[in-house]
Amino acid sequence: MVSAINYNSAAALKVFLEQENLGMRKKFGQNFLINPETRKSLAQALGANAGDEVWEIGPGLGAMTSALLEKGLTVKAFEIDSGFIRVLKQLFADNNNFHLIEGDVMKTWQSQFSCGKPDADAENKHALFLLGNLPYNIAAAFLADMIEKRRLFTRMVVTVQKEVALRMTAAAGDANYSSFSLLCASVYKVKPLMLIRPSSFYPQPNVDSMGLLLENKNSDYYPQAFYPLVRSLFASRRKTIKNNLLNFLSSRYGRAGTSPGDLCGALLKENKLSGGERAETLEFDVFLSLARSVESILGK
């Protein structure tokens, strides 16, 4: 059985890791949040109540897990590191509210998303919470995958690299505005919670992090073309939307019986666009209107 862990001390964690013959693997983006006040603030921001189910991504040695279980929450923890899995099992195996999902969360999350219901169609059912100090190397891909598959949560509190956070919160005209910004904005209100300095972690990362709150907007389902269109219009940032839109139409609808050039012109005219604009200057509603026009004109 493992000994009690002091989650607030880098020195104590280092000793524990050595005693348990555990290493920190860079490829997993492992950094323990050792600032207790920051951990407390993140858990409180989640707003989950006793009995609610919370997904925890990357529990590590269980610092946040302990706090969540103490609040009476049911925790479904996703962990890839075999050494940490061993520790987590020893720490929480007797707690009926703790459920451990072993392996790469990018490969395991979708099979677990049922929102407490047996059916496979989880669209527009937002009964879950998520908390995670997301590994920097998967944060954007993980969130994007969930959003595009419409597997959504009532509230999420995530810690990500500051650079990723700036992309998630960027608005039109901002240098960080991207297809990922629009992806997040399509279903969540993204609010910065706090800047987290490297000294709050062990080992210390080389960059600042940010805690973010994502609140579900309960938005209507978007046209099928919306996400592919957004990605295409940002694919070549130096090109005008006319050029990127033409490439999008040619690749997806080139055999629809209508010239991509004619379609492009019709879409721009319907949305009162000259075609000389660039994607980073367009508000969210413009992308949505374009996608609806694609659906209306082409029926898909």
Alpha-carbon separation of residue 246 from 73, 118, 176, 221, 240 (angstroms): 50, 42, 24, 25, 10
Q: Which residues of the chain have pLDDT under 70?
A: 24-29, 114-127, 254-257, 299-300
Give me the DSSP letters along 110-128.
Answer: HHH--TT-SSS--TT----
What is the pLDDT at residue 255? 59
- Predicted local confidence at residue 257, as pLDDT: 61
- DSSP for 138-167, written as a single string: THHHHHHHHHHTT---SEEEEEEEHHHHHH
Q: What is the distance between the terminal CA atoms of the chain, rounded to a whole angstrom?
A: 58
Whats the size of the chain, residue-wise? 300
What type of residue sits at position 64? Answer: M
**267: nearest Cα among 250, 240, 249:** 249
Mapping DSSP onto H, E and C, the string for 254-294 reads CCCCCCHHHHHHHHHHHCCCCCCCCHHHCCHHHHHHHHHHH
Note the pLDDT of residue 220: 80
Give the residue from 79, 33, 10 showing the smallest Cα distance to 43: 33
Cis ω before 203 (30° cut-off from 0): yes
Note the pLDDT of residue 30: 79
Q: Are 127 and 114 in contact (CB under 8 A)?
A: no
Which tens digit of pLDDT belongs to each residue from 3-13? 789 999 999 99
Sheet holding 188-196: strands in order across?
Answer: 98-102, 74-79, 53-57, 129-133, 155-161, 209-216, 188-196
Predicted structure pTM score: 0.90
Measured between alpha carbons, how far is residue 10 from residues 56, 112, 184, 283 in Å?
A: 22, 33, 34, 44
